[in-house]
Amino acid sequence: MQEAAFAFGRKPREALAVRSGYPPSMTYRIKGLEPSNFAHLFSLDDAELARHGVVRMTADAKPGFPCRTTLDDAEPGETLLLVNHCSHGGDNPYRSTHAIFISEAATEAASYQDEMPPALERRILSLRAFDKSGMMIDAALAQPGEADSAVRRMLADEAVDHIDAHNATRGCFAARIERA
């Protein structure tokens, strides 16, 4: 595929988008959660965290502890908070909460445009497309390295408002994907 892509003067990702029918001009953005939303928890001791249903953990492997602020896996030795997060609010059957990791060292939310963040790129993802009323209208399972084309296919449908990516194995929220 790379030889054909460069022969036409395109990057491999652009060539794949054109060949698959999803234009490279269709852009999407993935942004990490704002660390300021969790900052009030960072200074609490473990007993106080437990009263809030939060657990402080230390990463002991990479990959293994995907931070939802940096959108990458924490380095071994890094501390994170395991918190319950409402990723899909609203008053409908698709309201969703699950445990997520937030790095205590994260100072700003990562942002990616037209590419998958490292923590998403290396995992099997469940992609769930929602309309403006928060109802799921499409879904796909993406193997590592295959999410980009699935996201572009879903966003080609004008009825899709956003896509929520979840780690397929454990089910936890990974990131929200929106049109850029």
Per-residue pLDDT of the chain (180 residues; tens, 9 = 90+): 444 433 334 344 443 444 445 555 579 999 999 999 999 999 999 999 999 999 999 999 999 999 999 999 999 999 999 999 999 988 899 999 999 999 999 999 999 999 999 999 999 999 999 999 999 999 999 999 999 999 999 999 999 999 999 999 999 999 999 999
Look at residue 90 in the predicted model and tell me its pLDDT. Answer: 83
Look at residue 8 in the predicted model and tell me its pLDDT. Answer: 38
Look at residue 151 in the predicted model and tell me its pLDDT. Answer: 97
Look at residue 25 in the predicted model and tell me its pLDDT. Answer: 58
Look at residue 19 in the predicted model and tell me its pLDDT. Answer: 44
Q: How many other CB atoms are found less than 10 A from the CB of residue 3?
A: 7
Residue at token pair 């780690």: 167
Rounded to 5 degrees, φ, ψ at 79 are -95, 145
How far is it, in rounded angstroms, from Cα 178 to Cα 171?
20
Look at residue 21 in the predicted model and tell me its pLDDT. Answer: 56
pTM: 0.84
Task: Write out the E strands in the chain.
Answer: 28-31, 55-58, 79-88, 96-103, 111-113, 125-130, 136-142, 162-167, 173-179
The structural domain count of the chain equals 1
Residues spanned by the domain of 65: 2-179
- Token pair belonging to 42: 């960072």
